[in-house]
Structure 1
């Protein structure tokens, strides 16, 4: 047990405001990638449901209990549960069903209203490419 220090407050990472604006990337093959700010704006749920308005070309994402049959659970990139992790929702069936383009990965800002996150597909967003460096083999040339 740690002794109390009168007059001191314990600093926690939760006290630091999130520095990034909320973004979601619709990745190739239909994964939805939420930055930490987007996940936090939803209330950091374990799972969400996905809704689509084809006329407005808007995806709506709202928190649901993990026991809901149509819930999509968040998972961390690489399975790591760290504070800065990007979180993924495997939405391939959703993007395929609604013919949402996934040929290239596109990051878009989102808006949050009444606990619902909206992704506007009319927003061109920013095409993103992998930040993984291409590996090249060294043939021993010096």
Structure 2
């Protein structure tokens, strides 16, 4: 009998930077990726068509073409309010570069100077939310 790899799904290692491009183009950066950008108030999207890489660069919110970087789910009483994923609306950008966002995927980015690089030549890890994973498991059991 051959082994199958258990795919852990949506929980990345917190100390490893990750960027998830969710369905419809919402970018989600984990805390490690946000720290690489020095916790920006906004980012601008960069696109290198020849290399097929996306760049995220920290910029002041007042910068033309800036997209606000907002913390998700900072709950009342959270002892670490500056932790958790940062969301950036990237729907128009993903449409501009014609990126298929029908399936959420996660990449491990790297820094080039002051730009966080997402290399689309690398296969992104498919991400399934807990809600969808439960539905999929129910369907698999039928």
> 5+ residue gaps in structure 1?
1-17, 136-142
TM-score (norm 1): 0.76
1:131, 1:19 → 2: CA distance? 18
In the alignment, the residues of structure 1 paired with residue 97 and residue 51 of structure 2 have an alpha-carbon distance, to the nearest angstrom, of: 13
Could you tell me how far apart the structure 2 residues matched to 1:19 and 1:75 are? 18
Larger Rg: 1
> Structure 1 residues 27 and 66, CA, compared in 2 at 3 Å: closer, same or farther?
same
1:100 CA displacement: 1.1
Structure 2 segments unaligned to the other structure (5+ residues): 1-12, 136-142
Total equivalences in the alignment: 118
Query: Given the alignment of the two structures, is residue 68 of structure 1 paired with residue 72 of structure 2, yes or no?
Result: no
* Pairing 1:23-42 to 2, within 5 Å after superposition: 23-42=18-37
TM-score (structure 2 length as normaliser)? 0.76
Task: State the shift of 1:125 in Å.
Answer: 2.0
Q: How well do the aligned residues superpose, as a CA RMSD in angstroms?
A: 2.1
Q: Could you list the per-position Cα deviations for residues 38-93 of structure 1 after superposition, in whole angstroms to 9, with x for gaps in the alignment?
A: 00001111101101011211001111111012101111224658233111000100
1:58 aligns with 2:53: yes
